[in-house]
Amino acid sequence: MSSQQDDLKETDTEARFEFKKEEKSAFKSEKGLTEETVRVISEDKDEPEWMLERRLRALEQFQEMPMPTDWPGQPDLSEVDINEIVPYIRPDIDKRGGADSWEDLPEEIQDTFDKLGIPEAEKNALSGVGAQYESEIVYQNMQERWEEKGVIFCDMDKAVQEHEEIVREHFMTKCVPPSDNKFAALHGAIWSGGSFVYVPENTTVEMPVQAYFRMNSEGMGQFEHTLIIAEEGSEVHYIEGCSAPKYSAFNLHSGGVEVFVGEDAHVQYSTVQNWSKNTYNLNTKRAIAEKGGRMEWISGSMGSKATMLYPSTILKGRGASDNHITIAFAGEGQDIDTGAKVYHNAPDTKSTVESKSIAKDGGRTNYRGLVHIADGAENSSTAVECDALMFDNESTSDTMPYMEINESKVDVAHEATVGKIGDEDIFYLQSRGLDDDDAKQMIVSGFIEPITEELPIEYAVELNRLVELEMEGSLG
């Protein structure tokens, strides 16, 4: 065990995320947000008229909606001033819509993703990879065998041009309309980049596809949009990773994710979020599951200054099911407010939520979740389980579940526990020759295991490394 631990320690995980590259761009918008900004972004992308109209309508909604300030115990967003954000930076690359070879990328971008280990992972474990740098996808590739089966995995901007009809039908219409919340509206106005995934009927994409999002510039906002359509009987696992170097000014990430799970389809969406600790991470992620469809959200929230993220699933068809596994780790100065939302709108639907959170060094975690069972959703069942670990007395751990049950033939259960790392557990491990730090790390690794075992091994290792990095040297 200890030699493995040493190996991990020798890998300088922190350096892998913390490096900064000189800012180079082909196009950079002005700070702030006006109709002009939106028009400029749309024009630079040469978008069809309907997309510009949607953006402008979303902008209107953004301007009308107040900042959310009345949620009990919510993170402080007073620093988030959209007028201080650079919403759009197009990196300086020759080919729009993503190169299909890493060699075609400018050296500093290539180097960035090398350091993050993306090309390496692509060789070993993935069906396809997309990489976004600032506001646009710079690399996009998928193994030929999936292309032959009709699977589409491409840059969202490119999808607007090349798959216009299907994008027009699904983009921020029935799943996440801009009116959903202020940051969804913001996203609708200035979104850029992200992935489009289309899996045809009865097709199983056996290895995961991944997108990696990197913010490099100070004070920028990243607003990528991910649209996944899994047709009847298909299956796909999508992984997203995110990181940014830390600056003194704040960064804003406000992504939008829409997933359409067709009849008997199965989509797994995994996120390892490691934004720098000056980033506000305000996302809207939602899936709609048809009859017999199954949606899984696996989320690890490690980074960011403040996160407000509640991946949601609407169980629309009979027998649809949802599975949420989330882990939140809040260290010094971090406020991770995350959870799950599930709407049971049809009979025989099932959901399970498993949430694990760790708070230390004055960090705050909050599980905020909503389960709604509509009238007529007979024989639905839901089980929510929240566990929290606290390391010290400066930290805060909250649990705020909301359950709305409008149907009697249901089985609803919520459970939560909060505990500290047991002195006895640590003593036991120490008596086996581990020092205090290692003992605590092992306990934490065990605590989050339900999450790591859902991820491909490369990502599980990554997550463990991040946890280890958070734990290093800060224990008393």
Partner 1 sequence: MSTQAIESLSEDTVRRIADERDEPEWLVETRLNALSALETAELPDVIQTPGRRWTDLEALDFESLVDPLNQADETERTAGDDEVVVLPFTEALAEYGDVIEANFGSVLDPEHNYLTALSVALFTTGTFVYVPEGVDVEDVTVRAEMNSRSLFSQTLVVAEESSSVTILESIETGDAEVADDRYFSNLVEVVAGENANVQFGSLQNLDDDAYTYSLKRGVTDTYATVDWIESNFGSKLTRSDIETELNGDGSESQIVGTFFGTDDQHFDINARVWHQAEQTTADLVTRGVLDDVARSVYEGVQDVGEDAWNTSSYQRENTLMLSDDAEADASPKLIIHNHDTEASHSATVGQVDAEDLFYLESRSIDSRTARNMLVEGFFVPVLEEIAVDEFRDDVEELVLERLQ
List, in order, residues 6 or more apart from 267 with CB less than 8 Å away: 228, 230, 235, 236, 237, 238, 259, 261, 287, 293, 294, 295, 296
Q: Which of residues 222, 397, 452, 464 is near partner 1 by CB under 8 A?
A: 397
For residue 370, state whether it binds partner 1 (rule: CB under 8 A).
yes
CA–CA distance, 353 with 363 (Å, rounded to integer): 23
* Residue corresponding to tokens 């799943």: 175
Looking at the DSSP assignment, which residues form a beta bridge with residue 396?
364
Looking at the DSSP assignment, which residues form a beta bridge with residue 222?
253
Q: 357 vs 452, which CB is nearer to partner 1?
A: 357
Q: 173 vs 417, which CB is nearer to partner 1?
A: 417
Contact 255, 283 (CB under 8 A): yes
CA–CA distance, 386 with 371 (Å, rounded to integer): 14
Residue 249 identity: A
Contact 276, 303 (CB under 8 A): yes
In whole angstroms, how close is the CB of 421 to partner 1 at the nearest point?
Answer: 8
Total of chain residues touching partner 1, rule CB under 8 A? 35
The piece of 53-61, 200-208, 209-217, 383-391 that touches partner 1 (CB under 8 A) is: 383-391
The piece of 84-92, 120-128, 399-407, 462-470 that touches partner 1 (CB under 8 A) is: 399-407
In whole angstroms, how close is the CB of 468 to partner 1 at the nearest point?
Answer: 20
In whole angstroms, how close is the CB of 139 to partner 1 at the nearest point?
Answer: 37
Q: 410 vs 443, which CB is nearer to partner 1?
A: 410
Q: Which of residues 403, 426, 442, 461 is near partner 1 by CB under 8 A?
A: 403
Site for partner 1 in 66-85 (CB under 8 A): 73
In whole angstroms, how close is the CB of 80 to partner 1 at the nearest point?
Answer: 21
Site for partner 1 in 405-424 (CB under 8 A): 405-420
* Residue corresponding to tokens 């990430």: 253
Convert 318-338 to b/e letters by CB count within 10 Å (16 or more is b).
bbbbbbbbbbbbbbeebbbbb
Q: 188 vs 401, which CB is nearer to partner 1?
A: 401
For residue 443, state whether it binds partner 1 (rule: CB under 8 A).
no
For residue 388, state whether it binds partner 1 (rule: CB under 8 A).
yes
Q: Which of residues 4, 69, 248, 393 is near partner 1 by CB under 8 A?
A: 393
Q: 216 vs 382, which CB is nearer to partner 1?
A: 382
Q: 11 vs 417, which CB is nearer to partner 1?
A: 417
For residue 464, state whether it binds partner 1 (rule: CB under 8 A).
no
3-state secondary structure of 458: helix
Q: Which of residues 63, 143, 161, 396 is near partner 1 by CB under 8 A?
A: 396
E strand spans, 208-316? 209-214, 221-222, 225-230, 235-243, 251-253, 256-261, 266-274, 279-282, 284-289, 294-301, 306-309, 312-315
List, in order, residues 6 or more apart from 9 with CB less than 8 Å away: 468
Contact 81, 30 (CB under 8 A): no
Q: Which of residues 400, 442, 443, 461 is near partner 1 by CB under 8 A?
A: 400
For residue 65, state whether it binds partner 1 (rule: CB under 8 A).
no
Q: 251 vs 313, which CB is nearer to partner 1?
A: 313
In whole angstroms, how close is the CB of 432 to partner 1 at the nearest point?
Answer: 24
CA–CA distance, 227 with 423 (Å, rounded to integer): 46
Encoded tokens for 120: 């390496």
DSSP state of 21: -
Q: 302 vs 358, which CB is nearer to partner 1?
A: 358
The piece of 59-67, 162-170, 266-274, 400-408 that touches partner 1 (CB under 8 A) is: 400-408
In whole angstroms, how close is the CB of 404 to partner 1 at the nearest point?
Answer: 5
Alpha-carbon dihedral sign for residues 179, 183, 188, 189: positive
The closest alpha carbon to 391, from 329, 301, 307, belongs to: 329
Q: 1 vs 413, which CB is nearer to partner 1?
A: 413
The piece of 81-89, 98-106, 248-256, 401-409 that touches partner 1 (CB under 8 A) is: 401-409
CA–CA distance, 74 with 125 (Å, rounded to integer): 38
Looking at the DSSP assignment, which residues form a beta bridge with residue 288?
260, 314
Q: Which of residues 399, 441, 452, 464 is near partner 1 by CB under 8 A?
A: 399
In whole angstroms, how close is the CB of 389 to partner 1 at the nearest point?
Answer: 8
Q: 101 vs 393, which CB is nearer to partner 1?
A: 393
- Work out the burial of residue 289: count CB atoms within 10 Å of its CB; fewer than 13 is exposed, 13-18 middle, 19 or more buried: buried
Which residues would be at the binding site for partner 1 (CB under 8 A)? 73, 370, 372, 375, 388, 390-393, 395-420
